[in-house]
Amino acid sequence: MSRALGWSYMAACALMVALPIVVVSAAALNSGRSMLFPPQDPTLARFTEFFVTEDVWTTALQNSIIIAICSASLAVLIAWPAAYMLWRTGSPLSKTLAGLASLPFALPPIVFGVGLGFLWAFTGVLGQMWAGIVSHAALLAALPVATISIGLQSIDRSHLDAAATMGATERTAFWSIIVPQTVPYTVSGFFFTLILSFNEFIVMFFVSASSYSTVTLQIFNSLRNGFTPTMAVGAITFICASVLVFGLIARFGDLPRLMGADQSRS
C-alpha cells in the first residue's frame, strides 16, 4: 500500500517536471505564429527555419555553441589550479581563491552581470565575443572546481606515497597518478559548464551589449513580442543536448558520487 503510494508520488513529480517540456515540444509543431496546444495543423517547417533558413537563429545557435565550448574549456583551465592548490596545500590562500572562484555562481547572476558589464565597458571590450566567453567562464568556474575537488579527494594518498618511495618525482606522480584518476571528473565539470553556459542568458545580456546574441539571449530579447513556435524548436534542441550530455556523464562517470551520494574522504 505505502509502496504504491510512493511510486505514484514519484510518478506525479516526474509528470509535473515533464509537463511544460512536453507542451513546449508540441508547440514547436504549430504552423502559425502563435503557441497553441494542442498544435494547429502540425508541420516540421519550424525546424527548417531554426536550423537552416532563418539567419537570426542559425547565427545565434552558432554563437551559443562557440561560447559554450570556449567558456567551458576556460572554466576548466581556471578551476584546475584552484582545485589542485586547495587539495595539495589547503592553505588559506588556496581556500580564498577557490572561494572567490565560486562566488559569482552562488550570488544572484544579475548582480554579477551588471558588474561585468561595467568591467568590460571600462576596459573597452564590451560587446566582443571573447569578453562574453571569459564572463561565462568566471560565472561557472565553480562547477569544475567542485567536480575536480571531488575527483582529487578520491585519490588514495597511499598511492602517492608508494610512488614517492619508489623514486617517482612529483612531476611523474602528477602525470601518472593524479591526472588519470581525475580525468572523468574534469570531463564532467567541463560538460556541466558547457550545458549551463548554453542555457545562461542574463549575464550574457549585460556583457553582449546587443552586438551578438545566443539562442537564449535571442529569446530573452524578443520576450515582449511573445514566444513563437520557432523558439520552441530551440527549447527542444537544448533539452536534447542536456539529456545527451548528462547521459554521457552518467555512462562514463559516477553521477551519484558527483552529486554527493558518498561520504567524502578527506
Partner 1 sequence: MSVSTADITPGVAAEAAPAKRWNWGTIGFALVIVILCLVPFILVMVISLGEKIEGADWRWSLSLSNYQRFFVGANPEDVSFLYLQRLWYSFYYAVIASLLAVATAFPFVYLMTRQSRRAQTIWLVFLLSSVSLSEVFVVMGWDILLSNRSGLPMVFKETGLTDWLKEVGWFQQLRDWGLANPRNVRFKPSEFATIITLAYLVWPYAVILLYPALARLDNSTLEAARTMGARPLTVVRTVVLPSVRLPLLGAVLLLFVFLMGAYVAITVFAHPAKHTVAVSVYEAVRGATLNAPFGAAQAIVLLVVAGAFLVAAMWLSRLAERRAA
Of 230-249, binders to partner 1 (CB under 8 A) are 231-232, 234-235, 238-239, 242-243, 246-247
| Amino acid identity at 44 | L
Residue 57 CB, nearest approach to partner 1 (Å): 14
Decide if residue 138 touches partner 1 (CB under 8 A).
yes
Q: Which residue stretch of 41-49, 92-100, 150-158, 170-178 sits at the interface with partner 1 (rule: CB under 8 A)?
A: 92-100
Sign of the dihedral through C-alpha 141, 240, 20, 68: positive
Other Cβ atoms closer than 10 A to 49 = 17
Whether the Cβ atoms of residue 70 and residue 133 lie closer than 8 Å to each other: yes
Q: Which residue stretch of 4-12, 45-53, 152-160, 166-174 sits at the interface with partner 1 (rule: CB under 8 A)?
A: 4-12
Counting other chains too, the contacts that 226-231 makes at CB distance below 8 Å and 24 or more residues apart are 226/34, 226/35, 227/35, 228/33, 228/34, 228/35, 229/27, 229/28, 229/29, 229/30, 229/32, 229/33, 229/34, 229/35, 229/39, 229/46, 230/28, 230/46, 230/49, 230/50, 230/54, 230/57
Decide if residue 131 touches partner 1 (CB under 8 A).
no
Other Cβ atoms closer than 10 A to 85 = 16
Q: Which is nearer to partner 1, 22 or 179 (CB)?
A: 22
The DSSP output letter for 159 is: H
Residue 31 CB, nearest approach to partner 1 (Å): 15
Rule CB under 8 A: choose which of 17, 41, 171, 265 binds partner 1: 17
Rule CB under 8 A: choose which of 158, 225, 259, 265 binds partner 1: 259
Decide if residue 15 touches partner 1 (CB under 8 A).
no
Decide if residue 211 touches partner 1 (CB under 8 A).
no
- CB under 8 Å to 82, separation ≥6 — which residues? 94, 97, 98, 101, 141, 145
Q: Which is nearer to partner 1, 71 or 182 (CB)?
A: 71
Mark 155-194 with x for binding to partner 1 (rule: CB under 8 A) and - for no binding: ----------------------------------------
Q: Of residues 107-126, which lie at the interface with partner 1 (CB under 8 A)?
A: 107-112, 114-119, 122
Decide if residue 66 touches partner 1 (CB under 8 A).
no
| Amino acid identity at 47 | F
Rule CB under 8 A: choose which of 61, 76, 82, 140 binds partner 1: 82
Q: Euclidean distance between the first and final Cα of the chain, in Å?
A: 42
Rule CB under 8 A: choose which of 83, 150, 184, 200 binds partner 1: 200
Residue 130 CB, nearest approach to partner 1 (Å): 13
